[in-house]
Chain A
């Protein structure tokens, strides 16, 4: 499947015009106060380098932003196909208006894939979206549109391991009534890669979503997620762990938009920052006037392993309803000296003691992951980060 002329669609042209007109956010742009964008290379890759990939299992592999998977056999109840021109417009309609990340990648789309899950289909295979690249001066703009029919079940994991100037995936998920989604994102791009992603989920009534992001790579990464709770009694758990060292910059930005009553959302965010790394958490929970009985929780904690590391947090509640239970909080701290001493007094070396305490710090968040088969690889990735491998 090669890219078609999506860049010439009306949606892409409009987005490109918009992008050209606005450019990168200036120093005063509110959503980008903590994450300054500089030297963003927009040079969409024209071709993949990896030859067609025929990885076992249900895998969609994007190399340089282009789909290279061959002969992917979708399981019964799932259709995987390239975008039509109409899909471009449909996809763009889900994106927030005039949003930098939306216009950037719709305008420079490198490939776009539609995944449709039939109503009621129970897909037990884990769908892997693999994003790789090996072009230091180019950018990747893959679009993935997932439409999950009512009552269906689906399990999706994204792996980001790109070496590029910019990896800027856009993911839209339309999740039908009573659908169940287990989603995880593992971002481990190389430390010269910028990662700017926008994920938008539109959630219908009684849908049940568990989404987990682990971010341990990239020179600068922004993971922006917008959740639209459009149907009552939907339940969303959105957690993330980010770890950064050196001069890395990790940004978790979420918008939890409760448009209707009786929905539950919870967000746990844990950051570990070493050296001069910087972490940003911007989380906004918006509860519309009609969205009574909303339960919206959000808690971010950052752990600084070095005095030069920095964590910025901007939790926001915007509540227009009066009968809701919402809470938010953000803390920044260091490893507790008494904890370290207790471990060391038992003979445990300082490095190992620190690792045990970092793992302990991440534990309650890790425990929210619903994709069982991911747990081990998550723990391994975290341990590898800690040992600096």
Chain B
């Protein structure tokens, strides 16, 4: 079943067009990986998908479950099932972690016409999931991402994903900054969410992550376009030969 359809997507930041016609379809149950050189537009794509202000779609469409999301605000898209694990998670001084997590989960529940979470049960749930992902109680007590190490921030992103159970998860370089053990733990967390209900778009530079989270498809993004798609072997090819050959072949 089609979850996400990106059709000839053009987008610009300010006056500069960054995405030059992207086509990509993700069905439920599938994991797609996107690789590409620095500055090729991977994070831009993730922001355009999640509805960040300042990223203007100048052509094409994005359909989630068959509905265009272009007119939806970032928060509506999130409640419709999208989740972005940020390449650079944002520190929110003064915003308590638990308050933040509860607000996010409650927003989703309200949208679904359900009751808000029970405080105590929620704290228990968060603690349990946090433990699985190696997020300490101390981190849960602090302000969102404030004083977290790079790797801790990435784990905290995955904790949020686990709590929000999105239908489409976009992971932007979740592996960067993770040590080997953390990479395994986080990947297990992500794999636990794999299933028929969900689709995933995993942005990475490294084959290493894709040996943990094995993708069904791999796409190469260069200069704002997908220049090649294939199966997981494409990631290995990139690892060995780099992007130059692929880019030359595409041009």
Contact = CB atoms under 8 A, between A and B. Distances in A.
Q: Is A bound to B?
A: yes
B95 interface: yes
B38 interface: no
A320 interface: no
Given A337-B53, A356-B100, A344 B92 contact: no
B108 A347 contact: yes
Interface residues of A, number: 23
Interface in A360-377: 360-364
Interface in A340-367: 341-350, 352-353, 356-357, 359-364
B111 A347 contact: yes
Nearest to B161: A346
Interface of A: 337-339, 341-350, 352-353, 356-357, 359-364
Nearest to B144: A342
Contact of B93 (A342, A343, A353, A360): A360
A387 to B, nearest CB: 15
A351 to B, nearest CB: 10
Contact of B99 (A338, A350, A356): A356
14 contacts: A341-B74, A343-B92, A344-B74, A344-B75, A345-B51, A345-B75, A345-B84, A346-B78, A346-B103, A347-B79, A350-B75, A356-B100, A360-B93, A364-B94
A356 B75 CA distance: 15
Contact of A345 (B78, B93, B111): B78
Contacts of B53: 337, 341
Contacts of A352: 103, 107
Given A342-B90, A353-B75, 15 more contacts: A339-B90, A341-B52, A341-B90, A342-B144, A344-B75, A345-B51, A345-B52, A346-B107, A348-B104, A349-B107, A350-B73, A352-B103, A352-B107, A359-B94, A360-B92
A383 to B, nearest CB: 13
B86 A342 contact: yes
A198 B50 CA distance: 51
Contacts of B75: 343-350, 353
B164 interface: yes
Contacts of A346: 75, 78, 100, 103-104, 107, 160, 164
